[in-house]
A = this chain, B = another copy of it.
Amino acid sequence: MQKVAVIGLGSMGMGIAQSCLRGGLQTHGFDTRPEAVERFAVEGGAPGTLDEVAGAIDTAIIVVLNAQQTEAVLTSLAPQMKAGASVIACVTMPPEFARTMAALCAEHELNYLDAPISGGSIKAAAGQLSIMASGAPEAFAATEPVLDAISEKVFHLGDAPGAGSAMKAVNQLLAGVHIATMAEAMTFGISQGIEPETFMEVIPNCAGSSWMLENRGPHIVNGDYTPHSQINIWPKDLGIVLEIAKAAGFPAPITSVALERYMEAVKMGLGTEDDAAVAKVYAEDADLKLPGTS
């Protein structure tokens, strides 16, 4: 039985840890928030501090907030792990940063899988994530039982760390723009007398639909901005997209404008609301009323 450590028990990490448990893996869960660790222990998480178990675990899954936290975790953890153990790095980061993390792990004879995830917290909890993975064949082989437990689809994007992160950046460009575009279209509809509810009855059956529109649109219809995924994610993720685009001499004007919309939302104090709340920026601009808001 593989011994697994999930580092970061946020909305994605907690679901991943639960899926590992359900998949029959001995799973430790770690987080800077003691209440998250305790909650997971109650659900069947294995005991011990990270320092205590680091030498025994076969696979560490890193689901912290950003590249800097990933680096901090691995700088401390990698030297403590046994040779031949594996790291699955799920955080969205620039491909160049993923290559640096892979090199750090290689110094300690650890397998490294560049493995950003897609699917949201509900799919994480169901063990049905999509994983955009790249790494050496040994890294795929060693982590197979873990990947099986947490994902529905694993895309094999080659041997080189960085390819997974590049595909994740492409996906985030699309996802981030599509949420903001859904908000632009739905509020534009309101300005033309179309209720959000009617919008959601019609558009998912038409050529204007997107995965994000169908997923986030109902949040606006219901006026429910409980964060499944926060506004704050997008300045970070679209920032990564624009950073690596700039380094490649690639102008991305639609992404740039979408990023500005999210930054406007953060400025309005909406950073910790669900990302569908970017619609409030449009409502404010054009003096429109969204469902369930005053």
Report which A residues bind B (CB closer than 8 A): 95, 118-120, 130, 132, 153, 155, 157, 163, 166-167, 169-175, 177-178, 180-182, 184-189, 191-194, 198-199, 201-203, 205-213, 215, 241, 244-245, 248-258, 260-261, 282, 285-288
Contact = CB atoms under 8 A, between A and B. Distances in A.
A188 B245 contact: yes
B202 A211 contact: no
Nearest to A248: B191
Contacts of A194: 157, 163, 166-167, 170
Nearest to A212: B207
B118 A184 contact: no
Contact of A209 (B167, B210, B257): B210
Contact of A286 (B166, B187, B250, B260): B250
A210 B171 contact: no
A155 B202 contact: yes
Given A194-B167, A250-B191, A202 B261 contact: no
Contact of A207 (B215, B244, B249): B215
A178 B180 contact: no
Given A157-B198, A209-B210, 10 more contacts: A130-B205, A155-B205, A157-B194, A166-B194, A171-B206, A173-B181, A173-B184, A173-B208, A184-B252, A248-B286
A207 B211 contact: yes
A232 to B, nearest CB: 17
A153 B207 contact: no
Nearest to A264: B253
Contacts of A187: 250
30 contacts: A95-B192, A118-B206, A130-B205, A132-B206, A155-B201, A157-B198, A157-B202, A163-B193, A163-B194, A166-B193, A169-B192, A170-B199, A170-B208, A171-B207, A173-B181, A173-B184, A174-B185, A174-B213, A178-B178, A178-B181, A184-B254, A187-B250, A191-B249, A206-B211, A207-B215, A209-B210, A210-B213, A250-B285, A253-B257, A254-B254
Of A186, A188, A282, A285, most B-chain CB atoms within 10 Å = A188
Contacts of A249: 191, 286-287
Contact of A208 (B118, B155, B252, B288): B118
Given A174-B181, A174-B182, A185-B173, A167 B202 contact: yes
A166 B206 CA distance: 14
Contacts of A209: 174, 210-211
B208 A178 contact: yes
Contact of A206 (B130, B255, B286): B130
A11 to B, nearest CB: 14
A192 B170 contact: yes
A203 B184 contact: no
